[in-house]
Structure 1
Amino acid sequence: MHRGRPRPIAAVACLGLLLTSCSSGEEETSAAAASPGPALAFVSRPDLVAPDLGIDARGPARAPRSLVFLGPKSEGAPLTGVLIVDDAGEPVWIQPTDGRAYDVRVQELRGEPVLTWWRGESPVVGLGAGEFVLVDESYAEIGTVTTGGDLDPGQADFHEGRLTADGTMLLTAYVKREHDLGPVGGPEDGWVWDGVLQEVDVATGEVVFEWSALDHVPLEQTRSELPDDGGTEEEPFDWFHVNSVAEDADGSLLVSARNTWAVYDLDRATGAVEWTLGGEASDFDLGAEFAWQHDAERQADGTLTLFDNQSEPDIGPTSRGLRLALDEQAMTATVVTEYLPPDPDRLAGSQGSFQQLPDGTVFIGWGSRPFYSEFAADGTLLTDVALGAGDNYRAERAPWTGAPSSPPDAVLADGAVHVSWNGATEVASWRLVSGDDEESAVAGDPVRRTGFETAIPVDGDPAYVTVEALDADGRVLGSTVPSD
């Protein structure tokens, strides 16, 4: 094996700036096929816009339990950034970002909830170089996590940024290396993207564990074909394509590699591959083949779940969520449940996620297809939600209490106060306080919050008007004076 010094991903440029000429297998919505999706606009926040979600509810109505976290992006998406919505599809927090946001989710750090997402650059389609952002419940940035050790800072890929109970984060990185491509019909002096995993201490930035796919997985296990002009320093061969890392129940690590169609169980001390599920060298007899998969995790009941893309190129008729029972004595993997979309040909050529919720339901993000869905434990579809345009890397449902430090926003227009509070989750109603002046102003009846923005009629032309945000118990959370 010949390996040279790692080259940072940011040093690679696509010739002619044609992203499709340097595809790594994570294709995204093309500009030619995209059209602007339906969008919501707001009087109180004319600087913000959000997708107008289409909700197809199949199951019985349920009480709201949590929020949905998204990172809409790509051509046609009304918003590029971080988006939190409620069960009705109404925005809760809209955060435009300069670049695309990936892997938006709620996690826990040192016993406190944090919201995390990736930011950075994607000089090659399907790969990223950047860092993970951590914000608290006021949406204040409290830290960032990125690569370290032998890798330059700022090389964290967008596929995974998972916090652990030990105060570390599991990161992935794509590192360009020289490598013999003879086993896949290429030159001996070829180049590949190595799939690298790092576990980084959040507080210190110290790398406490590092793993390289090239050191542990034979190149010939790839299911990707070496392009005629690939495998060069300018266009390295993306043979592995790591896209998720999660802790297994015994403390080992589960690594999903899209381009080998496999999930690997890693010894956390040595990095040795304990077993391989799927692909050319599976240690398990499979009850069903998965392909180009994402987001492999072990669940509390012992099953292993993943998002089975089955596409890019197409293998099966549709993408799906998949739950497998692993017998590590008999070395068999059998299908327990599959989670199918309402349309029979929803093939996601990239991205996608599978989340097991505490109440037994399953939450699926469809990646490059702009949808997310919720299923009963037995695979029955409960809700299917359309983003309208663009795509979304992962979708997650989680509890979250947002308390922004900035005040609400309000605008007086057309005989009403239009009020919103971006990111505030505890507002149940709004109340106008009006009169000739502040001393004589009288509070009106509370008006139920109707969504991201609520319009409150104003009687007459009072000289003084302020609007208060109230929680479910009637306590004042914040207030603001409307602008004209």
Structure 2
Amino acid sequence: MNRPAVAMVCLGLLLTACGDGDPETSEAAPSTGPAVEFVSRPDLVAPDLEVDQRGPARSPDGSLLFLGPKSEGAPLTGVLIVDDAGDPVWIHPTESRAYDVRVQELDGEPVLTWWRGESPTVGLGAGEFVLVDESYSEIGTVTTGAPLEPGQADIHEGRLTDRGTMLLAAYVKQEHDLTSVGGSEDGWVWDGVVQEVDVDTGEVLLHWSALEHVPLEETRSELPEDGGTEEEPFDWFHVNSVAEDADGSLLVSARNTWAVYDVDRATGEVAWTLGGEASDFALGDGVEFAWQHDAERQPDGTLTLFDNQSEPDVGPTSRGLRLALDEQAMTAAVVTEYLPPDPDRLAGSQGSFQQLPDGTVLIGWGSRPFYSEFADDGTLLTDVALGSGDNYRAYRDRWTGRPETDPDAVLADGRVHVSWNGATEVAAWRVVTGEDEESAVAGDPVPRTGFETAVPLDGDPAYVAVEALDADGGVLGSTVLGD
């Protein structure tokens, strides 16, 4: 594969000045909390996750949780993989905040993807999506293409398709008449754009503009007194998820119209609108959602989303929501609500809904630092506090990490502290000691205990090595202390 990285650029007239702002975290404040440190990797710090088990624990299936913790003062800004106990598996600090961290598939192989870039203003970004393989080596990046500038991919969506393409969102500064929403004739808006880009070639296969297909009057956002200018465009639409529907059309979620749009791929026309000021569906009791994120069609035909209900507040709490759509009668009804354990967990930004193959549901609470798992009927099973820092989306998936680095080991207090950042197949550690390598003898295996395991060391041997073992006792990797 030849997927050259695209250099990050400031986008001049298209975006305001590049900076390290706080996209999609309008209610964020400096956040500090407990952190976990490691003897073997003093350069790494992870948030101390608190797992609140409310129902039956998951049956072990080898799956992991994928997060992108951030916020000023948080222990970690970057990519974080954890297990069911909340223990880190891979800690990857990043210079910019990481969004939409998840496992996807490209050319039949698993890849880990996330957004990196810069934030010109609150709620949007300009950057690219990174793709790494199971060794955590970067194999390519994907970003926007003509008629947009490269490097304009937004934080909200980087969804790979089975055709070797990626669905992206972007925000484009556009001059537009705002008199219909109380602004001036020569006002400015952020247009919500969707592109489908070929991963190998960078060719743009689809380009869709909200401004060309959705009336400005559908916005539920109020035009600020000083908004609607070239310096501060009006964010009237705010595309925050793009997914393929069962028939190949696109489901586009717009936070600031409170609506989900079914978009014809060939013509760009909106086939139907769910929610908002111009809903084509009659909304049943409890259906109305507000400031929502992550709308997707599920295999059973239901439509799911994360209903923020906040910023500004509309309802008492954010929630996961599953809806039944009757596209003949054009009605929408609530199938299941997924409610948090506390009655007022309002997330003013971000959030996600993931339907898992075993029927459980994973909800990421966005700007509220939690993720939760539910039974299919909405029963809360697990609630996990991130400690500090918010998180755009939360995902669960299987992942086999085989880092190209060797394990890390440090001798301290009569023990060997050992870890292997990103390695997912380590079941146990074994210390090998002796006067030299030729005479060294292997000790008994010690089960892996979280990110770092401390193995007792007898005496003061001249030669000390540590071996990482898989579940069958095979050696995955080794490190000689002192090398």
Aligned to 1:3: none
Q: Aligned partners of 1:63 and 1:259: how far apart in 2? A: 39
Of 181, 187, 192, the match for 2:189: 192
8 A contact 1:363–1:375 mirrored in 2: yes
Q: SS of the residue aligned with 2:212?
A: helix
Tell me the equivalent position of 1:246: 243
2:177 aligns with: 180
Change (3 A) 1:56 1:200: same
Rounded Cα–Cα distance in structure 2 between residues aligned with 1:286 and 1:279 = 10
Return the match for 1:114 from 111, 134, 148.
Answer: 111
Kindly indicate whether residue 120 of structure 2 is the aligned counterpart of residue 88 of structure 1. no
Question: How do 1:54-73 and structure 2 match up within 5 A?
Answer: 54-65=50-61, 66-73=63-70
TM-score, normalised to structure 2's length?
0.95
Match of 2:254 among 247, 257, 267: 257
2:238 and 2:25 mapped to 1: Cα distance?
A: 9
> d(CA) in 1 for partners of 2:336 and 2:393?
20
Residues 34 and 47 in structure 2, CA contact (< 8 A), matched pair in contact too: yes
Does the Cα contact within 8 Å between 2:101 and 2:114 map onto a contact in 1?
Answer: yes
Distance 2:297 2:265 in 1: 16
Count how many residue pairs are aligned between Structure 1 and Structure 2. 470
Match of 1:437 in 2: 436
2:211 is matched with which residue? Answer: 214
Matched letter for residue 61 of structure 1: A
Equivalent position of 2:371 in the other structure: 372
What is the distance in 2 between the residues matched to 1:462 and 1:94? 32
Q: Is the 8 A contact 2:15 2:172 kept in 1?
A: no
CA contact (8 A) 1:325 1:335 kept: yes
Partners of 1:129 and 1:55 in 2: CA distance: 34
Distance 1:98 1:28, change over 3 A: farther
Q: Deviations over 1:78-118 (max 9, x none)?
A: 00000000000000000000010000000000100000000
The 5-angstrom pairing of residues 47-446 of structure 1 reads 47-65=43-61, 66-287=63-284, 288-446=287-445
Distance 1:145 1:216, change over 3 A: same
After superposition, what is the alpha-carbon deviation per residue over 1:251-307, rounded to whole angstroms, capped at 9, x for unaligned?
A: 000000000000000001111100000000000011221000000000000000000
Q: How big is the shift at 1:26? A: 4.8
- Structure 1 position 8, deviation (Å): 5.3
Q: Is the 8 A contact 1:10 1:129 kept in 2?
A: no
Partners of 2:69 and 2:80 within 8 A in 1: yes
**Counterpart of 2:217 in 1: which secondary structure?**
helix
Aligned-residue RMSD, C-alpha: 1.4
Q: Is the 8 A contact 2:322 2:336 kept in 1?
A: yes
> Scaled by the length of structure 1, what TM-score is found?
0.95
Partner residue, 1:13: 17
Contact 2:160/2:166 (CA < 8 Å) preserved in 1?
yes
SS of equivalent residue, structure 1 residue 68: strand
> How far apart are residue 339 of structure 1 and its match?
0.1
The Cα of 1:28 is off from its aligned counterpart by: 4.1
Structure 1: which 4+ aligned runs deviate by more than 3 Å? 7-11, 17-20
Question: d(CA) in 1 for partners of 2:72 and 2:170?
Answer: 25
Query: What is the CA-CA distance between 1:62 and the residue it aligns to?
Result: 2.8
Q: Counterparts of 1:451 and 1:9 in 2: how far apart (Å)?
A: 48
- Tell me, what secondary structure is at the counterpart of 1:73? coil
Q: Which residue does the alignment assign to 1:4?
A: none
Q: Deviations over 1:47-105 (max 9, x none)?
A: 00000000000112333221000000002310000000000000000000001000000
Give per-residue Cα distances to partners, 1:380-403, cap 9 Å, x unaligned.
Answer: 000000001110000000000000
Q: Kindly indicate whether the alpha-carbon contact (under 8 Å) linking 1:433 and 1:441 is maintained by their aligned counterparts in 2.
A: yes
1:370–1:389 Cα contact (<8 Å) kept: yes
The answer to whether the 8 Å contact 1:180/1:188 transfers is yes
Distance 1:9 1:286, change over 3 A: farther
1:480 aligned partner: 479
Deviation digits for residues 400-436 of structure 1 (CA, Å, limit 9, x no counterpart) = 0000011000001110000000000000000001011
Counterparts in 2 of 1:9 and 1:371: CA distance versus 1, 3 Å? farther
Residues 153-200 of structure 1: CA distance to partner in whole angstroms, max 9, x if unpaired? 000001000000000000000000000001100000000000000000
Q: Which amino acid in structure 1 is aligned with residue 49 of structure 2?
A: L
> Is the contact made by 2:57 and 2:381 (CA closer than 8 Å) also made in structure 1?
no
- Cα deviation for residue 25 of structure 1 reads 7.2
Percent identity between the two aligned chains: 82
For residue 276 of structure 1, give the secondary structure of its aligned residue in structure 2: strand
SS in 1 for 2:211: helix
The one-letter code sitting in structure 2 at the alignment partner of 1:343 is D
Q: Distance in 2 between matches of 1:448 and 1:10?
A: 54
Aligned-partner residue type, residue 272 of structure 2? W
In structure 1, the partner of 2:467 is: 468
Counterpart for residue 38 of structure 1: 34
Measured in 1, the distance between the counterparts of 2:26 and 2:307 equals 16
